[in-house]
Structure 1
Amino acid sequence: MNSLKSTSLPPLVLASGSAIRKRLLKNAQLPVITLLPNFDEGAKEAFSAEETARFNAEGKAKSVYLRALETYGQEVIVIGSDQVCCLASGEQLHKPGTTENAIKQLSQASGQLLTFTTSLALMVGHQIHASLTTECRVKLRDLDHSEICEYVAADQPLASAGSFHAEGAGQRLIESIETEDINILYGLPLLALLKALRDLDRVPGYSLPNQS
């Protein structure tokens, strides 16, 4: 069966306000609509990193599914994704929210090997069709306090787990990366998502450039 369908397929719905996740989907030529999830990400503090990421990804998808269904019809696919960052000790680093917390997190993470656990959930036909979790490991350089403060002031990574934007200026803090898909670090296991969509026969055709 041909896995590349017409671009007139019902759009994918991303249960997220993340600009980087939306950009990753757009770059892969996957038409997407975003809906903000109504979901408490801090509801399961005692979970492991994998459990937390999976719980949040599925919860986000479920929280927007009925809205998406009413707007886009029965064949809608809702994507939920979540990421948890852990220190080598296993301590979870949540979104810092404030400059003070971001500086504290980066001071803790300096010179450490961090693990980013990223989950993906696809909701189709009133149920979770696919739910998976992947990992990416990032070694940070030894960072001094002045560089940390300068970086946080410049890049404002207050909504990023681990307190740095790996897709932006935060790359300057990184020594090395271990991953099978760099998009995992950016918060969306894109290669796994594409495989799941192929399994559903729901990958749209490529958009051809305008010919003038």
Structure 2
Amino acid sequence: MASSLWQAEQPLVLASGSASRGKILREAMLPFEVALPQVDERALEAAIDTGTNRPSRIAAALAREKACDVSRRLPGRLVLGGDQLLAVGDDIVHKAADLAGARATLRGLAGGTHRLHCAACFVRDEKVVFETLSIADMTMHTLSEAFIDRYLKDVGAEVLGSVGCYHIEGAGVHLFAAIAGDHWTIRGLPLMPLLAFLRESGYLCR
């Protein structure tokens, strides 16, 4: 059910099939439709040169490209694009393909701190009208093999949808010794600045 605070005639368009991003928008009672982008993410990632803040730059570029791709097909609509990258330093970690890969990911992240680079933007008529980037630092406990076994048994293949093999709003919280960053950024969408833009632009009642 959409909130009566929503003032626009048409709902947002979410340029993502992410279950987590959709859930965040539903929790905030924002009306939206899903349109899947057709973007070669690995090719775009490879085209971005090495240097300072490369993971953040890649996340921002992917969010923009996803939203612009959908915007080309839906003129006049407000399109929300988003992307989240997990990096250890400048080394990017991609989603595991199977539970064996998830086990390897957890072993690699255990006992250290990784960073989530979370970008989002609004695009209308192929023009970026707002963009934001938020970062969360995630410090994992040292994890025993027994813990990893039990954790993966509990969560199953569901974690393969998350690059870090965890959902912070569920059993994934047990992986962490410390977290620096907001809840929505960790889940994949920096919600507060997006809501601020919607309010200031008249999409939400003030």
Superposition TM-score tier, normalisation by shorter sequence: 0.7 to 0.9
State the match for 1:167 in structure 2.
Answer: 169
CA distance in structure 2 between the aligned counterparts of 1:61 and 1:8, rounded to whole angstroms? 19
Deviations 1:1-21 (A, max 9, x none): xxx855552100101111111
Conserved? CA contact 2:7–2:202, under 8 Å: no
State the match for 1:136 in structure 2.
Answer: 136
Gaps (5+ residues) in structure 1? 206-212
SS at match of 1:161: coil
Name the aligned partner's letter for residue 99 of structure 1: L
State the match for 1:182 in structure 2.
Answer: 183
Name the aligned partner's letter for residue 113 of structure 1: T
State the match for 2:197 in structure 1.
Answer: 196
State the match for 1:30 in structure 2.
Answer: 30
Conserved? CA contact 1:21–1:187, under 8 Å: yes
Conserved? CA contact 1:61–1:80, under 8 Å: yes
* CA pair 46-163 structure 1, distance change in 2 beyond 3 A: farther
Conserved? CA contact 1:30–1:204, under 8 Å: no
CA distance in structure 2 between the aligned counterparts of 1:53 and 1:37, rounded to whole angstroms? 15
State the match for 2:96 in structure 1.
Answer: 96
CA distance in structure 2 between the aligned counterparts of 1:8 and 1:81, rounded to whole angstroms? 21
CA distance in structure 2 between the aligned counterparts of 1:204 and 1:77, rounded to whole angstroms? 17
Percent of residue pairs bearing the same amino acid type? 29
Cα deviation for residue 161 of structure 1 reads 1.5
* CA pair 46-114 structure 1, distance change in 2 beyond 3 A: farther
Greater per-residue helix proportion: 2
Conserved? CA contact 1:81–1:118, under 8 Å: yes
Deviations 1:150-170 (A, max 9, x none): 323432211211221222211
Name the aligned partner's letter for residue 188 of structure 2: G
Cα deviation for residue 86 of structure 1 reads 1.3
Cα deviation for residue 201 of structure 1 reads 1.4
State the match for 2:83 in structure 1.
Answer: 82
Name the aligned partner's letter for residue 190 of structure 2: P
State the match for 1:209 in structure 2.
Answer: none
* CA pair 168-176 structure 1, distance change in 2 beyond 3 A: same
CA distance in structure 2 between the aligned counterparts of 1:194 and 1:6, rounded to whole angstroms? 11
Runs of 4+ in 1 over 3 A off after TM superposition: 4-8
Q: CA RMSD in A?
A: 1.9
CA distance in structure 2 between the aligned counterparts of 1:132 and 1:184, rounded to whole angstroms? 11
Quick one: higher RCO (CA 8 Å, sep 6+), 1 or 2?
1
Cα deviation for residue 126 of structure 1 reads 2.7
State the match for 2:70 in structure 1.
Answer: 64
CA distance in structure 2 between the aligned counterparts of 1:92 and 1:9, rounded to whole angstroms? 40
State the match for 1:114 in structure 2.
Answer: 114
SS at match of 1:65: helix
* CA pair 112-119 structure 1, distance change in 2 beyond 3 A: same
Name the aligned partner's letter for residue 31 of structure 1: P
* CA pair 99-16 structure 1, distance change in 2 beyond 3 A: same
